[in-house]
Structure 1
Amino acid sequence: MNRANLAAGLLLLAGTVLSGCGAAKETAGRMDSGGGAVNVSLINAKGEPIGKALITEKTDGVHIVIEASKLSPGKHGFHIHENGKCDPAEFTTAGAHLNPEGKKHGFENPKGPHAGDMLNLEAGPDGIAKGEFVDKHVTLAKGKPNSLLKDGGTSLVIHQDPDDYKTDPAGNSGARIACGVIQ
């Protein structure tokens, strides 16, 4: 190996090590906020894996980074549900939206929103949806009424249609087409 390639390799290694240190510091901060990172596997109505989500708690709320495939193009309602069960095909075992304060559904509802209400998830023409969402109404801290890690867990649900952000109980978002257990 010549000296130029060796120098380039050492710079690349140093950058990787330094970026890894930053990631470790950020992860340590998440651990301090009450729960660390939670990985969620998403399945469709046939029980097939279609995606994943990473949930972390930061100072501004709970962050959900999601990637899902095999969705119809367009917007889909996306919610946190009260039960940690995802039995296909209809995912009714996930229960209703997480709503420990007894509010109405939707960001545009004066009596809302539910703690589990999220913005719509949008799939491209290829059926792939990627997004990052922040929910300020929930926590990963165990023992709190709005915890995603409550006894029995909670779940992420993707719906067939877009959420209208106002109609109770689920924003007219249609059938549940994908689900993932949060534990």
Structure 2
Amino acid sequence: MPDMMAMAPANAILATEEVTPTGETGAMANLLDADGNAVGQVLLTPVTVGSDGTDALLVQVQVEGLSAATADEHGFHIHAVGQCEAPTFESAGDHFNPTDTAHGLLHMDGPHAGDLPNLTFEANGNAGAQWATTLVTLQEGETALMDDDGAAIVIHADGDDYISQPSGKSGDRLACGVITMSR
């Protein structure tokens, strides 16, 4: 699979070597599997990245024991509705896409604001990763996650191919977490 830091549109997904928290309130999502078991957490922290101080959102994910996940890559997206009704999690809606772009970090007319790199799972259902993205914000504006119907994080059954429409052939939804502001 291609290196998303190198292939994504400029400043969409950024390396996290030079990350500075802004001190603004962050958000989180507690991930549940289709049986309602807690399997992980996602932290969203407003940061600046790099020497130029680009505003971004640091996405940190830790998953443990997601038994439905195979030792492979799995799609990882922000979805448009802050609901996670098991077992299918269809209540989370489509990918978060307020700018009406094409799906995919590699698509010339993309990506959706909610497109993130795949998560790579181990055989035991564990995964962890972090990225910084400029595609979404916790502040007011067109790409604000905390709008009237909220947003959710979803882990999919298959890897995102980063180009197919409408969702990268990432398959069924294995886990979901509603994004809530941290206190």
Provide runs of 4+ in structure 1 moved above 6 Å.
none
**Which one is further off, 109-118 or 52-61?**
52-61
- Indicate whether 1:117 and 2:115 are aligned: yes
1:125 Cα shift? 2.2
TM-score when normalising by structure 1: 0.79
1:72 Cα shift? 2.1
User: Percentage identity across aligned positions?
Assistant: 37
- Residue segments in structure 1 that go unaligned for 5+ positions in a row: 1-25
Code of the aligned partner of 1:158: I
The aligned residue for residue 15 of structure 2 is none
Q: Give runs of aligned pairs for residues 1-183 of structure 1, distance below 5 A.
A: 29-31=22-24, 36-60=25-49, 61-69=56-64, 70=66, 71-141=69-139, 143-183=140-180
Higher relative contact order, structure no. (Cα contacts within 8 Å, ≥ 6 residues apart): 2
Code of the aligned partner of 1:175: D
Rounded Cα–Cα distance in structure 2 between residues aligned with 1:50 and 1:171: 24
TM-score when normalising by structure 2: 0.79
The aligned residue for residue 15 of structure 1 is none
Instruction: Identify, as 1 or 2, the structure richer in helix.
Output: 1
Code of the aligned partner of 1:102: D
Rounded Cα–Cα distance in structure 1 between residues aligned with 2:23 and 2:76: 24
- 1:109 alignment partner, SS class: coil
- 1:93 alignment partner, SS class: helix
- 1:50 alignment partner, SS class: strand
The aligned residue for residue 16 of structure 1 is none
- Residue segments in structure 2 that go unaligned for 5+ positions in a row: 1-19, 50-55
**Which is greater in Rg?**
1
Cα deviations by residue, 1:128-151 (Å, 9 ceiling, x for unpaired): 00010222111010x312111112
The aligned residue for residue 18 of structure 1 is none
- 2:23 alignment partner, SS class: helix
What is the aligned length? 152
RMSD between aligned alpha carbons? Answer: 1.2
Code of the aligned partner of 1:30: G
Q: Is the 8 A contact 1:144 1:150 kept in 2?
A: no
Rounded Cα–Cα distance in structure 2 between residues aligned with 1:124 and 1:30: 33
Rounded Cα–Cα distance in structure 2 between residues aligned with 1:93 and 1:135: 24
